[in-house]
Every structure is written in C-alpha cells, then in structure tokens.
Structure 1
Amino acid sequence: MKSRLIMTMAALTLLGGCAGMVRKNEPKTAEDHWDVRSEQLQKIDRFLMQARGSYGRLVPVKTDLRWQQNADGSFDLRVAGPFGIGATTITGTPDNVQVRSRGNTYQSNNPEQWIQDKMGWTLPLAGLRFWILGMPSPHSDADIDLDREGRVLTLEQDGWTLNYTEYQKAGSHQLPRKFDVSNSDVKLKIVVDSWNDLP
C-alpha cells in the first residue's frame, strides 16, 4: 500500500513537471509578442520621422510631414503642401506650442483647436507622438487589434481610429510605414519615408 502511494505520488510529480514543460514551450501568442514589443516602444523617447501624407475625405490634399521628437518631451513638427507651399511649423509640447505659419507666429495651449480654426482640419497632437510609433498613448484607454507578431493593426483611442497596413524595419524596431488616422471629420493617410535618430 505504501509503495503504491509512493509510486502514485511520483507519477503525479512527473506529470506535473511535464505539464510545466508543455506550458513553457507553448508557442507565443500575439499578446505575448505585444508585451515585449510595447515595452521596447515605450523606451523610444526620441526620433525623426519624415513622411508623406494626404488629408480630406472628398478631395485629398497632399502634404509632407516631418516630426522631430526630443528626449525631453518636446517636439518640432513641420507640415507643408507640395514644394513647401503653406508650411506650418509647430514646436513645443502638446500642451503649449508655438505655431509659425505664413510669416506669423502664434502661441497656443490648445494647438489642435488652433489648427482646426485656422486650417479647417486638425492633428491629434496628444496621441500622435505615440500613434506614429504603432502604440496607444498611455494617457487614456484604447482598444487595439494585433497581428500574429504583436504589431498593432487597428487602434481606437480618444475618438480617433488608426489602421496600420504596413511596417518597416527601423534600427532594431519594426515601425509603421503606412497607416491612416481618422475621426468623424478628418482622414489623414501617412506613408513614412524614413525613421532616424532612434535611441
């Protein structure tokens, strides 16, 4: 009786060990990949992104984008039409910026509203710094759908929807190459030409 109990205990211990080994060797899920990926993306505190875009739903207007993100949290964003026509430069932080457009300089603590009032469209500056990296902003809740490698396919946050259709290698990272940003009023399509100055 005693030997049978010992054998039963040994068998259970062995099975438990095998079960642990099976769990350890299970294929990683999209969520597992995302956990690793999001941790890496959060460490990107500076970059230079140069891109082409178009905005507008009925008659898209082409534009060039240049976003310089600095390690201190400030940024320098330049938005220009073809051949530099109608260039607007926004520098500062999402809460306090200086806007230079058509030879004039403005100070605003609500840059998204300023762009809406002056240009008839807007940029979601608070979230865009994170969204262009392919991750949600940490400042509010978001819904995301992932591909098998843990890259964001669709992101919904703060009334905006982003669809990522292509990624590219940038340094040691996989960062977006093609994506669009839209809400009920604005649709902005972006094609990233280059990523530089990554940590």
Structure 2
Amino acid sequence: MTKKLIPLATLCLALSACTTLPFTSGQPPSSQAVAPYREQVDLAGRLNVVYQKNDKPESATVNFTWQQQAGRTDVTLFSPVGSTLATIAVTPQEAVLTQSGKPPRSAPDVDTLSARLLGWSLPVSGLRDWLQGYATAADGQRFAASPQNDSVTTRDGWRLRYVSWQDAASPGAPPQPRRIDAERHASAQADAVSLRIVLDPATAVSAP
C-alpha cells in the first residue's frame, strides 16, 4: 500500500509546484503603462453620453471615428444605423461643427460649441490624451494609465477610469485602452456629463 501511495504523493507535489508558477497569458503585466504618446492616431468606437437637458437626464449613443494629427483633430459622429450626425474639426485656432443639412458653426472652444449644438459637451482637447491612456492630473502631473493604475481626476475636473483593455497584439506589448469612463460633476462653469467610450479593437493601435 505504501509503495502505491509514493507515486501518487509525488504527482500531487508536482502539481502543487506547478500551481505556484507565475501565470502568463500574453497580456501585458498589470503594472505596465500604456505605450508612448503619439500625435497621429486613427481610431473608431462607440460613445454613450448621459447629460442634463432642462434639468432632466438625457442620454445618447453614437458611433465615431477619430483622426488626430499634431495640429488638428477630426471627429465624425454616426447614428447607430450609420448615418452621419455631425462632423467636428478642431485646430488650435477654432472648432467647427457641422450637422447634416445645417451650415457649419464655429467657436474657439469645442466643449462649449458641442454643448450648444448637440446638447452635450465633447471634450476633444482632453480626449486627445485620454484615448491613448494619458491625462493631466489635478496636481498638474502627467498621468499614464495602466491596468494597475487605472483612474485619475484631471485638472479640469473629469474623473477618468480605464475599465478594460485591448487584447495584447503580442506578448509584452504595452496595454491599450478598450473602455474609458469619464464623469464630470456640475459646476458654475459646466453641466454634469458622463461618457462611456469603447474603442474598436481593429483601430486601437496608433497609426505610424
């Protein structure tokens, strides 16, 4: 009986030893920060927004494309069935928002312009950072997200949380955001807005 138990005990010890080995799945380490920031990116995804209109909560869901260069950002918003709702072009000098069948409207501040015409503000200047996992924290320090360090309050009052991440393109690759939640409470300068952003996997990688 003792001789029969020896191989079984040896097997149990081997299995126990195996369970203590670190697990590797191809995902980036939880402490690894996002890839270095790039000025030029090409993204697409879905955006859900909850906002206040006439003191009542409203919501909208749109698809979007995001084309970013060093001195310009172009955003196109689509309905769930694919029709174009609006295009937004932002440069350091101005923001221009065009809706279907309406003349373009421009203003120096895209947040105010989008809130006036769409009913909710789209913080394009912040999203240039957020979509790549970066932000300027409330203390003015540069924030770089990681799966282990996934939330921050920005200098302009947004609370960001990186809820999920893209599957790694290759083992050891830096993590890339998949879902981002952003919330801003009402203040004297702005209304309360909540955003949920989900990036498409095929476009999550920054353009070269």
Q: 1:41 is matched with which residue?
A: 36
What is the percentage of aligned positions where both structures have the same residue? 24
Q: Following the alignment from structure 2 to structure 1, what is the Cα–Cα distance between the partners of residues 89 and 79? A: 18
- 1:14 corresponds to: none
SS in 2 for 1:53: strand
**Larger relative contact order, structure 1 or 2 (CA cutoff 8 Å, min sep 6):** 2
Q: Which residue of 2 aligns with 1:165?
A: 163
Alignment partner of 1:91 is 2:92: no
Deviation, structure 1 residue 102: 2.4
SS in 2 for 1:63: strand
TM-score, normalised relative to structure 1: 0.69
2:44–2:66 contact (8 Å) kept in structure 1: yes
Cα distance change of structure 1 residues 195 and 59 upon mapping to structure 2, 3 Å threshold: same
Q: Report deviation, 1:82.
A: 1.8
**How far did 1:177 drift?**
0.5
CA distance in 1, matches of 2:129, 2:48: 20
- Shift in alpha-carbon separation, 1:90–1:114, aligned structure 2, 3 A: same
Unpaired runs of 5+ residues, structure 1, are 1-27
- The residue number in structure 1 matching 2:183 is 182
Q: CA deviation at 1:80?
A: 2.3
Which letter does structure 2 place at the counterpart of 1:53?
L
Cα distance between partner residues in 1 of 2:184 and 2:45: 20
SS of 2:135's equivalent in the other structure is coil
Contact kept? 1:142, 1:155, Cα under 8 Å: no
C-alpha spacing 1:51/1:94, structure 2 compared with 1 (3 Å) = farther
**Structure 2 partner of 1:198:** 207
The answer on 1:56 being equivalent to 2:57 is no
Query: Residue 165 of structure 2 aligns to a residue in which SS?
Result: strand
The 5-angstrom pairing of residues 4-153 of structure 1 reads: 30=31, 33-34=32-33, 37=34, 40-42=35-37, 44-56=38-50, 58=57, 60-70=59-69, 72-85=70-83, 87-93=85-91, 95-103=93-101, 104-137=103-136, 141=140, 147=146, 152-153=149-150
1:55-108 per-position Cα deviation (integer Å, ceiling 9, x unaligned): 1165532111110012x3211111222223461111132541221112221222
- How far 1:164 sits from its partner (Å)? 0.6
- The count of residues paired between Structure 1 and Structure 2 equals 162
Report if the CA contact (8 A) 1:144-1:153 is conserved.
no
For 2:66, the aligned partner's letter is: W
Structure richer in helix, relative to its length = 1
In structure 2, the gaps of 5 or more residues are 1-28, 52-56, 186-191
